[in-house]
Amino acid sequence: MSDVLRRIEIPIALTIIATLLQVIPYYFEIPALESAANTASNGVLLIVACATFVGVISIIQVHGKRIQRQSEGWYYSLLVIGLSVIMALTGLPFPEAGLGVNNSIYNWLFINVQTPLGGTMYSIIAFFITSAAFRAFRARNLEASIILVAGTIMVMGNAPLLTNYFPFIADVSLWIRSVPNLATMRGVMIGGALGSIALAVRTLMGIERGYLRGGGEE
């Protein structure tokens, strides 16, 4: 029995059914199918929400091993596990017990730890971009020169100090955004749409199985 359940055809069939259940009611007016599709998609939202502990368990696995082996930097892993467990426990949906999204510890950690860390983590890229602008952004050939000039004009166009005294910079940067950038992104978008349709068809035909890999099996 378990050999039958292990067959890759089962998840492929589930994918196909789930896809068709979303697509067919959109194009054909079949009330029963529409109702089933709505219930199915609501059910999928719950399935997605159920995966919430996967990250916590993975973290505990990886960092727990580090603590166990006392690898380099293992004490930092204590912080990782400790905080993820605290957030997970205080966030449990039991408002009667004072837990949940309104729990004071949960909110304190979000406002005073998550918020500054999240905002700062992505902002350090500003410095790396600055360093790259100085050390790597070179007009080595014509194409590099085009990207350099376009990029520099866009940077200047976002500086009110420059656009106020040199309005033509704003006009040129708007032109770059509205013409070559539009052309690039429109081409990418149309190509991407066709590519995503092709990928979806391949998935529906069971040819594309990349998302099902893992576990040491096919």
Partner 1 sequence: MVDIAIWTAVFFTLGIYSILYRENPWFRIAESCYLGVAVGYAVGQDLKYIRDQWGGQWSSSAGMMLLFAIVMIIGIFWYARFNKEYFYLYRWPLALVVGTGIGAALRTVIFSQFLAQITSQANTPFFVAGDMVGTINNILIQIMVPSVLLYFWFTGEIRESAPMKVVEKIARYTMMAGFGSAYGYTVLTRYSLFIGRAQFLLGIPPNPADSRMAFIVIAFVMLATMIGYDMFMKKE
Partner 2 sequence: MSVWQKINKLDRRYTYLLAWIFVLFPLLNPLGLPIPISPDAHAWYDYVENEINDGDVVLFTPMYGVSGMPELFPMTVATMKHLLTKDVQIVVVSFWNQGPLVFNTLLTQVDPADYGYVYGEDWIRLGYIPGSETAMGSFAANIHTTVSADYVEGRSLDSFPMMADIQQGEDIDVIVSIETGTPGTPEWMRQFNAPFGTPQITGCIGVSVSGMIPYLQSGQLQALMPGLTVSAEYEILLNKPGLAVAGVDAVSTSHVYVTLLVIVGNLAYFMTREDN
Binding partner selected for residue 30 from partner 2, partner 1, none, CB under the kind-specific 5 to 8 Å limit: none
Minimum CB–partner distance for residue 50 and partner 2 (Å): 9
Query: By CB under 8 A, how many residues form the interface with partner 2?
Result: 57
Q: Is 205 in the site for partner 1 (CB under 8 A)?
A: no
Give me the DSSP letters along 27-82: HS--HHHHHHHHHHHHHHHHHHHHTHHHHHHHHHHHHHHHHHHT-TTHHHHHHHHH
Determine the Cα–Cα distance for residues 24 and 18; give it in Å rounded to an integer.
10
Minimum CB–partner distance for residue 195 and partner 2 (Å): 14
Q: Is the dihedral of CA 172, 174, 179, 183 positive or negative?
A: positive
Site residues for partner 1, 143-172, by CB under 8 A, read: 143-144, 146-155, 157-158
Interface mask (CB under 8 A) for partner 1, residues 17-56, using x and -?
A: xxxxxxx--xx-----------xxxxxxxxxxxxxxxxxx
Q: Of 8 and 149, which CB lies nearer to partner 2 in the complex structure?
A: 149
Q: Is 207 in the site for partner 1 (CB under 8 A)?
A: no
Q: Which of 75, 105, 63, 76 is nearest to 88 (CA)?
A: 105
Q: Is 129 in the site for partner 1 (CB under 8 A)?
A: yes
Minimum CB–partner distance for residue 116 and partner 1 (Å): 4
Site residues for partner 2, 99-158, by CB under 8 A, read: 101, 107, 110-111, 114-115, 117-119, 121-123, 126-127, 129-131, 133-135, 137-139, 148, 151-152, 155-156, 158
Determine the Cα–Cα distance for residues 105 and 82; give it in Å rounded to an integer.
13
Q: Under a CB-based contact definition with an 8 Å cutoff, are residues 18 and 44 in contact?
A: yes
**Given 114, 139, 167, 205, the residue binding partner 1 (CB under 8 A):** 114
Q: To which H or E segment does residue 93 belong?
A: none
Residue with tokens 């998550």: 114
Minimum CB–partner distance for residue 109 and partner 1 (Å): 5
Minimum CB–partner distance for residue 29 and partner 1 (Å): 14
Q: Give the chain's radius of gyration (CA, Å).
A: 26
Residue with tokens 């952004």: 137
Binding partner selected for residue 70 from partner 2, partner 1, none, CB under the kind-specific 5 to 8 Å limit: none
Q: Which of 74, 76, 83 is nearest to 56 (CA)?
A: 83
**Given 36, 147, 159, 198, the residue binding partner 2 (CB under 8 A):** 159
